[in-house]
Every structure is written in structure tokens, then in C-alpha cells.
Amino acid sequence: MVSAHASPLSAAGEADPGDQSVHVDELASAMARAGHEVTVYTRRGSRSVRSRVDTPGGYRVVHVPAGPPRRAAKADLLPFTGDFGDFLRDRWRTDSPDLVHAHSWISGIATALTADELGIPFAQTFHTLGSAEQRHRSERAAGLADRIRLERMLGRRADRIIATCSAEVLELNGLGVPRGRISIVPCGVDLDRFSDEGPRAARTAHHRIVSAGPGLPHNGFDVAIAALPQLPDTELVVAGDVPEAHRLRHLATRLGVADRVRWPGRVPRAARPALLRSADVVVCTPRYEPFGTVALEAMACGVPVVAAAVGGLTDTVVDGFTGLLVRPGQRADLVSALRRLLGDPALRGIYGASGRDRANARYSWDRVAADAVRAYLVAAPSLRPAVKPRSRAATA
């Protein structure tokens, strides 16, 4: 696997690692449990890290010297993809992998030319797509047009595209990738960490709503805050690093609900299950969401979810079964859904139990790894185990 900007070691070493770091760590660990030999190549972002690390998950991490040995934003790494690719080429000429799985467009750029030159099958997961960000985000990132062009190229070059949700398939179709070249492999959830058993964080109101994630404008925390005036005796916990906290606090004050909004800041991953279990309902109201990770974690904890019908959330949350889906950005729809659930403890229990069952049945990392292997075998048919024909005696 290649994860240039998101080290899987961050999943264990940081209080609140990014979704991609967790995804790569969990997927690599599950692949190792299944008996596969997995190496993850990531950019060296510090002078203090060792060049190779054998992880408790059973896979190894190789730190690639590409660019200055310090942290850098993903968007700043494009100039170093050539050096990254040269390192991979030198390594794989003598120790060729059976298949490479690149995570993110930056990783794909570093991988594509080398994999093509050496004849190594190549699968690509984008995690997020520039075309979706351009349409859904209010801010306009520099260089997005170039990124979209490169993602379109990767869609043609990779032997298999692995999407994380159905909405991403439609986005890829818009980039010219035929449906037949795409496999859907969703994000998973750690079912040991996120479960319905365990401590619950303290609360101060009769009802509690939790909304979590990075506080960017497209994540829709303002929609949840705007619903609060019509939900008496209910507190809202906004958990995460919220760069736009000043605007959101001002909104809460203007609406007269500032005393009912809690701002715990970035909640360590180890403490997140207790926070989710303390909620009557977990609310996810983004305008753009490729993963649906928070909703999935809530379901694993047995908590019903009210979510905007966007991106990965439309796959994860089954409307009327594990929670409720609402139109994105529609405060009235959100209020109606929350009133229905907060006023009906029995329905919350049914949705919570159904969500837990769905998380166990569909989203364990071992199941996700098995799905990934099936996608790999489409990308590299030569890796399929030979099936011996039955003898005449066996068919008689």
C-alpha cells in the first residue's frame, strides 16, 4: 500500500488521527491477519522516525525520503511525488509486490508511473475526489482544477478503482471511469473499540445530541446548532477541532442556545466511544461526506443516527432502520427527525440495536479486507488461486 501523506502509524500515535490514517492501519492489519504480507509506504515526515517499522498489526511501514522531513499538507506534496516514485522504483525492481494499492490521488501519482513501468497491478482509492469538493465545499482550494485532471488520469491508468461508497461511483463515472472498472469497498469500524458496552460520558440535560468531526464549513455543524432552539431541554455536543468555532459560537449566541452547546474540542479516539454512547442521537449533517465514519462508529455503539443524505452516509445509514436520513442543509427536516427520535425511547432502542447489527454484519475490518482482496483479484487475475478440475470419478 502507498499512503504518501497519511501515515498509518498516526492511528496509534495521535489522539485524533485522520480518517485515512485509520483506514490504512485497520485495512493493513486485517490483511495481515488474513495471512497477506503487507508493506505500507508513507512519506518521512520527521527526522526521528526509523526507516522501517514493524507494527503490532503485523504489517510493516517504510518511510520514504521525499521532500523535507517534516509535516506537510497533502496539497504541498505534489512536487515530491517524483522522488517518492523513484524510491518505489528502486525498491520494487528487486522486491516486486504482487499488487499495489494507492490511497489518495497524491499516492496514486507517486505510484502510477512506477507500477506501469514494472508491470505491477495497481489499484487506486481516492478517499476524496476533487470534483466533489469543488461542487460541495464553500471554499475553493488552490490547484483544484489540476488535481481533478490528475484524478481523471489515474482513473484511466489504474487497473482497478476502489470506491468507498455508491455516491463516489457516480462521481467517478463523471470523470470518465466506467462502472465495470470500479469496486466498492467501504470504510470499516473497530468493533472492539466501538461497542454498545462500556462507559458513557457525563451529560447535563435530559437529552443529548452529539455531532463530531473536523469543523469545516461543509460539515454542517451550523445546521445542528440552528435546530437546537426548537428542541428544549436538549444539549448539543460539538466534538472536534473546529477552526470556525468563532462563527459557530456567535450563531449559538444569536439563537439563544449558547448555554446548551458544549465544545469539548478534539476528543481523543480512545475517548470517542464513551462520548457517542452518552448520546440519545448522533447527528451528521455535512454537505459533503465521502466516509460516514462518525455515523458508522455511532451505529457500532448502538446509538441511532440522523444524517444528511449525502455521500457515504446514504450507504451507511439505512433510513427507517438504523436511523433517519434528511435532506442536506434543511433545518426543518432535521428538527422533525430529532423530535421524532427524542420523543420515542423505544424507537431509539430499535434503531440503535439495528445499527449495531448492521455494523457487525457489514463493516468489520475483516469483512472490508475480504472485499478488498476480491477487488485486488479483479485487478490482478494472475493472483487467483488455481482451481483444479474435478476428476471423472468425482463427477460420476
According to the model, what pLDDT value does residue 309 have? 95
According to the model, what pLDDT value does residue 13 have? 58
According to the model, what pLDDT value does residue 301 have? 98
Taking the model in full, what pTM does it have? Answer: 0.91
According to the model, what pLDDT value does residue 144 have? 84
CATH 3.30.460.10 fits 10-188+364-383, yes or no: no
According to the model, what pLDDT value does residue 386 have? 56
| Residue 63 · residue 23 · CB < 8 Å | no
For the chain, the C-alpha Rg in angstroms (whole number) is: 22
Torsion angle of the four alpha carbons 276, 281, 286, 290, in this order, in degrees rounded to the nearest 10: 60
Residue range 207-362 forms a domain whose CATH class is: alpha beta
Domain map of the chain by residue range?
Answer: 10-188+364-383, 207-362
141 three-state secondary structure: coil
The per-residue pLDDT for range 227-252, each reduced to its tens digit, is: 999 999 999 999 877 667 788 999 99
According to the model, what pLDDT value does residue 230 have? 97
The DSSP secondary structure of 260-282, one letter per residue, reads GEEEEESPPGGGHHHHHHT-SEE
Domain 10-188+364-383 and domain 207-362, same fold? Reply is yes
The 10 Å CB-count burial string (b at 16+, else e) for 105-130 is bbbbbbbbbbbeeeebbbbbbbbbbb
According to the model, what pLDDT value does residue 265 have? 84
What is the pLDDT tens value at each position of the chain, 396 positions in all? 999 999 999 877 555 567 899 999 999 999 999 999 999 999 998 888 999 999 999 999 999 999 888 888 777 888 999 999 999 999 999 999 999 999 999 999 999 989 999 999 999 999 989 888 887 665 555 578 889 999 999 999 999 999 999 999 999 999 999 999 999 999 999 999 999 999 999 998 899 999 987 655 567 899 999 999 999 999 999 987 766 778 899 999 999 999 999 998 888 888 999 999 999 999 999 988 878 899 999 999 999 999 999 989 999 999 999 999 999 989 999 999 999 999 999 999 999 999 999 999 999 999 999 999 999 999 999 888 755 555 444 333
